Amino acid sequence: MEPLAHPQSAPGTRRRARDLGIVIGHTATGPFDAITDVPGVRVGHTTVRRRPDVHSGVTAVVPDAVGPRTPLPAGVFTGNGYGKLTGTTQLTELGTLETPVLLTSTLSAFRVADALVGWMLQRPGCEEVRSLNPVVGECNDGFLSDIRARPVHEEHVRAALDTASGGPVAEGCVGAGTGTVALGFKAGIGTASRTPDLGGRRFTAGVLVQANFGGTLRVLGRAVTPQSMGLDADGPAPVAETGSCMIVVATDAPLDARQLTRVARRAVFALARTGASYSHGSGDYAVAFGTRPGAGAPVADAELGPLFEAVLDGVEEAVLNSLLAATTTTGFGGRTVPALPADLLLAALTAPAAPQAR
């Protein structure tokens, strides 16, 4: 086990999109350009890696004081339901979030949900709780990791929850993103934030993605493939019909569950900007929650446009950050997935566009 706690950035960390001059949208970011820019939101990772065969883990998005007695307004949107998002039906029915949101590997999701319940029942204020709705999402990391080993256990979940903190968020091959692959490259966890103005009031919207989906990468509207950058494409490729993307959106804007569901829809829509194929086997979900439901007058629907745009931009950037932060990984069965090389990406973006076929 390799538990990771904040501060999660280390010397030599690969550059993020903005470090390379790739700026998506015009809305300002928060200080860390991360979901932790939303007040009261913390993130923790536990990386579970046993080379060469296991590359997995768990990531926890932890809103302060969330619990069955102090639920937060929330919404969920399913772009394609080929996945395991535990807790979906109650979240949809009641529009409230009772636990942190945890992300992990497909076959470990059930153990993670059980461990989350155990952790929650020991929280102050939960002594008499008799019902709890854990929210746990997953992506299939079986191309690079021995998924049948189900390597994520209770101690890993508790480590991620107990070390969750604010500030910079580790991205790429950490936590639930350790073994994921997206758009032909090694991917993982990515995050971003925006500070939109809604009717004269400024709020923060932060996103975190677990990227593991198929398609052809698009950066600033331009297609980028491993072959177009001259990378070695030998060896087996991830099956196009498997994958998924789990997206978590947090905001301090005073929204109700219906409005947060609208926000969650935009988060899934944003994957199209990155080149997602939304294939048959890709489970594409977003959970959106508010951290300050009673903070001032509710935001009117007519004022939500800048927030929708902020989430679209944030998800697009978070996916790109997940790719840029990841490193080339050789895993289960000797399979290797290349990282997205920043220098070759910038060269591809500045090269003349190829003529369109007639």
Residues annotated catalytic, as ranges? 244, 282, 284
Cα gap 306→199, rounded to integer Å: 9
Q: Are 72 and 290 in contact (CB under 8 A)?
A: yes
Structure tokens, 210: 């677990």
Cα gap 356→14, rounded to integer Å: 33
Structure tokens, 34: 């991360």
Q: Are 223 and 10 in contact (CB under 8 A)?
A: no
Strands 185-186, 181-182: pairing kind: antiparallel
Q: Are 215 and 274 in contact (CB under 8 A)?
A: yes
Cα gap 198→27, rounded to integer Å: 12
The count of C-alpha atoms lying within 13 angstroms of the C-alpha of 350, restricted to the half-sphere facing its C-beta, is 9
Sign for the pseudo-dihedral over CA of 89, 95, 97, 98? negative
Close Cβ partners of 201 (under 8 Å, ≥ 6 residues apart) = 296, 299
Residue 153: is it exposed, middle or buried by C-beta count within 10 angstroms (0-12/13-18/19+)? Answer: middle
Strands 2-4, 41-50: pairing kind: antiparallel
Match 């949208």 to its residue by tokens. Answer: 25
Residue type (1 letter), 235: G
Cα gap 72→274, rounded to integer Å: 30
Residue type (1 letter), 238: P
Q: Are 262 and 269 in contact (CB under 8 A)?
A: no
- 86: DSSP letter: B
* Cα dihedral 11/13/14/16 (nearest 10): -110
Cα gap 167→303, rounded to integer Å: 29
